[in-house]
Structure 1
Amino acid sequence: MFVTHSGPVNVEQFRWIAVLAAGPSALLGGLSAAQAGGLRGFRTRPVELLLPASARRDVLPQGVRVHRTTVLPAQDVLAVGQPPRTMLARSVVDAAQWAASDDEARAVVAAAFQQRLVVGGEIHEVLDRLPRMRRRSLVTATATDAAGGSHSLSELEFLDLTRRAGLPLPTRQQIRYDPAGRRRYLDAYFARWRVHVEIDGGQHLDPAHAWADMRRQNSLWIEGDRVLRFPAWALRARPDEVVAQLRAALRMAGWPG
C-alpha cells in the first residue's frame, strides 16, 4: 500500500488502508460502514472491519478493530460502492451490537431511521439472520419504535416512560401544517386528547431554532392543542415530574386514566 501525498491521512483514506491491509475478504463493518454509507452525528472511532470467521488476518495498523462472523450472506454485502462494506441495515445492526453502551446502540438505530438510511423491516430482516447477536432484544425494540416514528434517543426514552407509567401511547412524528402551509413533525401527539409533547435537545439552545419551535408551538396553542415541552435531560433526571405533568394534561383533556 502506498500513500501518494505527504499530508495527513484522512478518514476515507484510512478506511481503505484498513480494508486492504486485512485481506481480500475484509469488509468495513459496523459504525465505520454506516458512516461510509452516509450516517451522520457520531464521532469517528477506530475503523471497524468484519471478516469471515475462517479468514486469515495479517498484521493491521493501529486504530483498526476486527470483528468476525460466521453469518455473512450475500444480501448483507454491498454489491457496488467502495471501499467494500456491509449493507446499511447490517452495518447499523453490527454497530449497535458493538456499541460501548445500550444508549449508544439505541442512538445509532434511531439515527439511521431519522436520516432515512433504513426503512421498515430492513433491520428486522437482518436480525432474523443473526439470532445470537448481542443486544438483540434491545435492537429489535428500538427498530420497532424508530420505524413507528421515534427518531432520537430522547424520543425513545419518552416512549419508554409512557409505557412504564401505563399512559396511552402517542403517535410519533405526526405531520401537521403550520399557518404558512409548511409541513411540521410533532415529536409525540396524543391525537384523541389533542395533547402534543415536544422533547427539546441541545439544538434548542440555538436562538433561531428555539424561535422556530416557539412559533410552531404558538400556532398549535392557537388551534386548541395542549402543548407540553420537556428538556431531554429531564426524561432521565426527573422522570416522575415528566409523567405527573403528562398525566395531568391528559386527564384535563378528558383521558379517564
Structure 2
Amino acid sequence: MFAELPRDDAATLDWLAFEQSGVLTTAQATGLLSEGVVRSRIRTGRWRSVCRGVLLTGNGRLTRDQQLWVAVLVAGTGAVLAGTTAATEAGVRGLPREPLHVLIPAERRAARAVLRHLPIDMAAVRVHRTSVLPAEHIQLGRPPRTTTARALVDAAGWARDEAQAQQLLAAGCQQRRVLPEELRKVMTTLPRAPRRQLIRQTIEDVAGGTEALSEIDFVRLCRRYGLPRPDLQRQRTDAAGRTRWLDAYWPAYRLHVEIDGAHHMDVHQWAADMRRQNDVWTAGDRILRFPAWLVRARPAEVAADLRRALTATGWRPAA
C-alpha cells in the first residue's frame, strides 16, 4: 500500500501519466510528489530516469508514443512535433521515422547536453527553431504537433535534397492527407522558408494534377526540353465503361504517356496495364510508357522519344 499522495493528487498524477503515455518531467512529478518519493520510486525500479529532467512511470523500454513525448518534453516549453514526425503521426505513410523532429519558438534554446545523452532505446531528436508558428499551424494532440500542411512544408525545407523534398510533398497529396491549397496557405506565412521556390513550384505541379513524384518529374522534363505541357490525371472511359485516369495526355496529338512505378511490376498489375494499353490503341490514340526511374535518371532519352512521337502526330516546336 502506498500513502504518498492525497487522493486528489493521486488522481491528477494518474491522469497526467495517462495523457503523456507514462512520461513526465521531473518538475511535473515533484509538483505532485515530494522529491524524496520521486527518488525512491526511481531507486526501487518502479520508475525510470530517461534523461535529465524526464521520467518514465514504469521501467520498460520506450514505446514509440513514449519516445515522442520524451522528444517534446526534452525540447521544453512550446515544443511541438514537426516535419516528417508530425506528418507520420497525421497518417502520411512511407516517411522516415527517425530522427524525431521537434519545433520550438526562436527565442528558446533546447538543452543540447540532454539531447546528446538520450538512452539507447530512444531515437535521435532534432530540434528546429522558428520565429513563425501561429496557432493555426498547431494541431492539438497528445503530444501536440504542427498541422499536416505545415509539417510537410517544413519537412521539404529540411530534406536532404530537392528530390526528397518533392517526394515528401507529393506523398501527402497523393495519400489525400493534405490539399495543395493548404500547402499554399502555409507558404504565405513563411516568406523565408528553405527551398521556397522549389516548394511553391511543386505545389503548383501537384495542383495541376500530378499526384506522384514521377509525374512531377515528367512536367519538369517537358518544361526543360521545350515540349508542350500535357494534361495530367485526365479522366477517360474505356471500352468496358470503366473510368480510367491518364498519367499524361496531349489531346491535340492523341498521345498518351503512362509512367510506371514499382507496383507495375506485379504480375496482376502488368496484365491490367496491357489490357489498358490495348484499349488506348484500339481507340485510336498512341501510347508511350516509361518507368519512373528513367524519367528521373535519363530525362534526355525520355524527351527524345516524346519529341519524335509528338512530331509524328503533327506537333512543331516554336521557332
TM class by smaller structure: over 0.9
- CA-CA distance at 1:152 after TM superposition: 1.9
| Matches of 2:313 and 2:92, distance apart in 1 | 40
Higher RCO (CA < 8 A, seq sep 6+): 1
Note if contact 1:198-1:229 (Cα within 8 Å) is conserved in structure 2. Answer: yes
CA 1:68 to 1:194, structure 2 compared with 1: closer, same or farther past 3 Å?
Answer: same
1:138 is the counterpart of 2:198: yes
Q: Are residue 222 (structure 1) and residue 278 (structure 2) matched?
A: no
The residue type paired with residue 167 of structure 1 is: L
Indicate whether 1:159 and 2:212 are aligned: no
Match for residue 64 of structure 1 among 122, 125, 129: 125
Whole-Å separation in 2 of the counterparts to 1:157 and 1:102: 11
| Native 8 Å contact 1:113 1:147 kept in 2 | no
Match of 1:73 in 2: 134
Structure-1 residue corresponding to 2:84 = 31
190-199 vs 209-218, which moves further: 209-218
Tell me the distance in 1 between the aligned counterparts of 2:256 and 2:225: 17
Distance 1:151 1:82 in 2: 30
3-state DSSP class of the match of 2:258? strand
Displacement of 1:12 in angstroms is: 3.3
Larger deviation, residues 58-67 vs 144-153: 58-67
Check if 1:12 corresponds to 2:65.
yes
Tell which deviates more after alignment, 195-204 or 8-17.
Answer: 8-17
- Stretch moving more, 175-184 or 25-34: 175-184
Aligned residues of 2:82 and 2:101 also touching (Cα < 8 A): yes
What secondary structure is seen at the aligned counterpart in 1 of 2:146? coil
CA distance in 2, matches of 1:19, 1:153: 31
Cα distance in 2, alignment partners of residues 162 and 234 from structure 1: 14
Return the match for 2:107 from 54, 58, 63: 54
2: CA distance, partners of 1:194 / 1:183: 18
User: Is the CA contact 1:92–1:108 (under 8 Å) kept in the aligned structure 2?
Assistant: yes
Contact kept, 8 Å, 2:180 with 2:206, in 1: the verdict is: no
Larger Rg, first or second structure (1 or 2): 2
Contact 2:80 2:102 in 1 (8 A): yes
User: Which one of 254, 269, 272 corresponds to residue 194 of structure 1?
Assistant: 254
Q: Indicate the SS of the match to 1:48.
A: strand
CA RMSD of aligned residues (A): 1.8
Q: How does 1:86-235 map to 2 (within 5 A)?
A: 86-235=146-295
Report deviation, 1:4. Answer: 4.2
The CA distance in 1 between the partners of 2:66 and 2:76, in whole Å, is 16
Match of 2:252, SS? Answer: helix
Stretches of structure 1 that go unaligned for 5 or more consecutive residues are none
Residues 95-140 of structure 1, C-alpha deviation per residue, up to 9 Å, x if partnerless?
Answer: 0000011100010011111111221322122111111111000001
Determine what percentage of the aligned residue pairs are the same residue: 49
Q: Confirm or deny that 1:44 pairs with 2:132.
A: no
Q: 1:192 to 1:56 in 2, by over 3 A?
A: same
- Displacement of 1:56 in angstroms is 4.6
TM-score, normalised relative to structure 2:
0.75
In the alignment, residue 284 of structure 2 is paired with which amino acid? G
Number of aligned residue pairs: 255
Residue 5 of structure 1 and its aligned partner are, at CA, apart by 6.8
Scaled by the length of structure 1, the TM-score of the pair is: 0.92
* Alpha-carbon distance between aligned partners in 2 of 1:82 and 1:176, rounded to the nearest angstrom: 44
Does the 8 A contact of 1:189 with 1:197 survive in 2?
Answer: yes
- For residue 145 of structure 2, give the secondary structure of its aligned residue in structure 1: coil
The residue number in structure 1 matching 2:302 is 242
Give the superposition deviation at 1:24.
3.6
Partner SS, residue 274 of structure 2: helix
> 1:22 and 2:86 equivalent?
no
Deviation at 1:3, TM superposition (A): 5.5
1:50 partner amino acid: L
Distance 2:172 2:254 in 1: 29
